[in-house]
Amino acid sequence: MAGVVTALVGFTSSFAVVLAGLQQVGATPGQAASGLLALCVTMGLGTSLFAWRTRLPITIAWSTPGAALLAGTALPAGGFPAAVGAFVLVGVLIGLCGLLPPLERLVESIPASIANAMLAGVLLGLVVQPFRDLVRDPAAIAPVILTWLLLMRLARRWAVPGALVAAVVVMVARGAFAGIGPDALVPHVELVRPTFDVAAMIAIAVPVWLVTMTSQNIPGMAVLRSFGYRPRLRPALVYTGAATAAGAPFGGHAINLAAISAALAAGPEAHEDPDRRWVAAFTAGLGYLVLGLVSAAVAIAADAAPVGLIAAIAGLALIPTFASATASTLEEVGTREAAAITLVVSASGLSAWGVGAAFWGLVAGGVWLGVTALRRPPSPLDKHERYVKYRDDVTDQ
């Protein structure tokens, strides 16, 4: 049952973000459905395989932060084929992190505040959308927000799935499902030949790779370690990188180690005996494979929904991620100003030479860090912190 819950929560809580991201970079509803299916298959196979071979509750998920970045990215000049080429590069970079330890250490050396600032800046436009649409169409959006709010208080884990149920009720009331034939609900794949556009690779591949590593893979390993498990990171990176590259021509953007949903299968709720919790992860993998069968139905229903309804679900689902990223952005005093600049530039929506705001946010934050590191006189805040440390040391002595 823990495995079933892991799959259901992992799928329903963020599929709207994935669909919004894929369609933002040019995917048709059919291509988005194909991408959702490719992600479910690669996630399901990887999760069950790793759980079976290692006897550890290792779970694999799609990159929700990566999808959120796509949803805030401008349409690449080369359309969806250029985006697919960027997805292939994301897979290659993830795989190289597993094969080349220096590359992994390079990613780990990026200040967490900068990476989180980029993510928070991109998410800002998405999380405010439900409240903008609430004014435009309160009859459609209000039931979704109220259901989400109530379940955040009563059963937080089911808040987004509950909002999804409310959205389905709204769609039924408005007749959104009329005219959808059964043939359209059959899962299918659409092969897209990737094109490798430099601007798309800079604007899409680099930011998606960075947030996937810093917001998913590294935290996912930390979650497993918090429950006493010590799996090797290299095999997971190699598999998720190869599977991402292989699934990209079918529309999948990126998969990685699960971070948030990992605790559902690795925690004591799954089983009292830590040596038996791998069964939950194995079952979650099977659950993802089953959910892949409804990918076409989900994509078509999302396309038929009233304007703003699916965006509202995606925005609500991303509020906890936005809150966490924002808190991490301003947590470290030494990088706070650089992180703030990264957040502001990433949220600006600017685009230069075909490259979107997420990349320029990273550049702006990095330049600020580089310039201030050359020669920075101590600020009053620095002096105060030094005084407090000196006072505490004297007190201890």
**What pairing do the DSSP bridges indicate for beta strands 255-257 and 60-62?**
antiparallel
Q: What is the pLDDT of residue 88?
A: 96
Q: At what angle do helices 309-329 and 129-136 cross, to 10 degrees?
A: 150
HSE value, Cβ hemisphere, 13 Å, CA-based, for 395:
6
pLDDT at 52: 95
Are 124 and 368 in contact by the 8 Å Cβ rule? The answer is: no
Nearest to 323 by CA among 131, 72, 127: 127
Check residue 354 and give its pLDDT. Answer: 61
**254 is written with which tokens?**
């990126």
pLDDT at 83: 95
Instruction: Name the token pair of 224.
Output: 């497993």
What is residue 384's predicted lDDT score, i.e. its pLDDT? 62
Number of other residues whose CB lies within 10 A of the CB of residue 217 = 24
Residues sharing a CB contact under 8 Å with residue 245, sequence separation 6 or more, in sequence order: 87, 88, 90, 91, 92, 95
pLDDT at residue 388, as a whole number? 64
Low-confidence ranges of the chain (pLDDT < 70): 179, 181, 183-184, 260, 351, 353-356, 374-397
Residue 385 pLDDT: 62
**How much is the pLDDT for 325?**
81
Name the pTM for this structure: 0.77
